[in-house]
Chains A and B, each alone.
Chain A
């Protein structure tokens, strides 16, 4: 199989580096530093040391018996990334890039955050490594994910609310990039999803692949075979690419990404870039993008802040076009239902993002045979979403 991405950062026709000239030397520097770190045993050792001792890896692969019994068909397993330190898979990448930034001699980190899980992870890593930390967060997300704002501040990060545009993740990335451009020598941009210019999509994928590698080993040990389906939610797509990637060569394992259908694909109130977008350039990469007919980027909606993004990682666009992965859509209501269902059948409160994957897995399970298996990447825990879900519960 061809090495992905190629040296220009392309996964087939997707990816690349569509950035201002001022960022080109920084991206070259990062590419070189990462190439060194990737093959440096001491870097890998340090990364895995902190993954284990500080953030709680490996995470369990859990057979969700009561959840599976709801459909009475396929068995559903949960990869428990929600049990990680700071509450989501985001810590894997934050730790990897934080160590890389330190190795590169950077003293200051900027990051964007949507749901706040990446922001909290970066703030924690910066505290651990003694780096200054500034997190940009859309004003709307600052309101709907308030507990995470408090956590970031407690961990010593400066949280800057972004009031431009749709005041969500997209605008936070714009502002983080503007900060990075302005402080290019001293500052490392710690991008939280598998998006952005080369080398970020592959960098983030590699640091997140730890979840897929563990899942493969754990599933084989538990059952002696590989799962039939892997299901993960996709905003930018970092948890999905992390769990998909180690299975790409296992052609019989079906990979399914679940995008946020918001209030339905009929209108504009969703965030399903792969289902409803066109190829475009956003935040430095060519990929599927939600845009109007004149190339302006659309505002999106999802009940989950972490999926509320008009773009998607270029490798997902490639996997969609090559047919190796397929992508489906789950709307707000179904995600909320799955959120409650998982809480009450398994005693696990999932993040609203991950609840999208749970919802699709349940639907899928109903159409499968008893001996078939589904692994859901339970990418985060739902404590941060209590405010949003509280409203829905009162209605109930």
Chain B
């Protein structure tokens, strides 16, 4: 069973999935963050490969990407980082990258090296399935799960398409907008989840705009995973002693997910 499949098998509360930008605030922080996140209850980590033109990201991840690029973080450096992280952590790891750096690297070569580094899946926010053929074939060959995305405005045809081809889980983008912290869940999120649920048996993980314990608690019982990015990235960039702040924040989310489950949906 793959690490991602094992993650969702027989889960009680939703998995907590953390996003961090590789190389922000520096590479040492990335390497230190994953074991720390793991010890605080995180169940899987998305490693963001920085890109010069992050179209779906809000200001926090945009700035983290620019800073990482200024430090010379390349896709090759991200692959090396994943390899080092894999030596210290057994968590499922996914790369989140815009398509051009992967296209430039060569999709087949990138998949081979990602798999060799111990990465389990790929999330490419600007690669709809219509354009994903090449990467899909390469990722399959190397047992990497190419995770499909859906948005609240996705019509039934597209839900069906993604449900049929997504692997590992389906990434539900909670809102029509960019990444970044919000205080409340967008209205209609339960309906969105239910619409997808009626057409797919894959685990559903919800991300974009999730940054509070209250939001996490409300999602418990609705989805198999909750993805939190900008808040963690912001805390990691908040100063030299980011570790206690990140640990406290993540533990709080985890508790909320567990308690939310006990309280029932």
Contacts and interface: CB of A to CB of B under 8 A. Distances in A.
B37 to A, nearest CB: 26
Interface in A258-311: 278, 280-284, 289, 291, 293-297
Interface stretch (A58-66, A84-92, A177-185): A177-185
A26 B158 CA distance: 13
A183 B177 CA distance: 8
B125 interface: yes
B130 interface: yes
Given A18-B99, A21-B173, A22-B173, A297 B52 contact: yes
A165 interface: yes
Interface string B169-198: 000010011100000000000000000000
Given A174-B53, A281-B126, A24 B102 contact: no
Contacts of A391: none
Given A22-B153, A164-B62, A296-B51, A182 B101 contact: no
Interface stretch (B28-36, B69-77, B111-119): B69-77
Contacts of A75: none
A287 B251 CA distance: 45
B106 to A, nearest CB: 10
B149 to A, nearest CB: 5
A21 B102 contact: no
A289 B69 CA distance: 18
Interface centre among B56, B158, B176 (most CB of A within 10 A): B176
A25 B53 contact: no
A245 interface: no
B238 interface: no
B53 A182 contact: no
B249 interface: no
Interface string B117-148: 00000000111101100000000000000000
A21 B55 contact: no
Contacts of A183: 176
Interface centre among B53, B75, B101, B105 (most CB of A within 10 A): B53
Contact of B53 (A21, A22, A170, A293): A170
A293 B177 contact: no
Contacts, number: 109
Contacts of A291: 100, 104
A164 B53 CA distance: 10
B150 interface: yes
B151 interface: yes
A178 B176 CA distance: 10
Contact of A181 (B56, B69, B128, B149): B56
Interface string B45-71: 000000111111010001000100100
Contact of B103 (A164, A165, A184, A295): A295
Nearest to B72: A294
Interface centre among A21, A26, A280, A283 (most CB of B within 10 A): A21
A297 B99 CA distance: 12
A317 to B, nearest CB: 14
Contacts of B158: 21, 24-25
Contacts of B155: 25
A297 B69 CA distance: 11
Interface in B89-105: 99-105
Contact of A165 (B52, B101, B150, B151): B52
A297 B62 contact: no
A296 B69 contact: yes
Contacts of A295: 51, 75, 100-105
A294 B55 contact: no
8 contacts: A182-B178, A185-B153, A281-B99, A281-B103, A283-B53, A294-B101, A295-B75, A296-B51
Given A165-B53, A181-B177, A294-B101, 11 more contacts: A16-B131, A19-B126, A21-B125, A26-B153, A170-B53, A181-B176, A281-B103, A281-B126, A294-B74, A295-B102, A296-B101
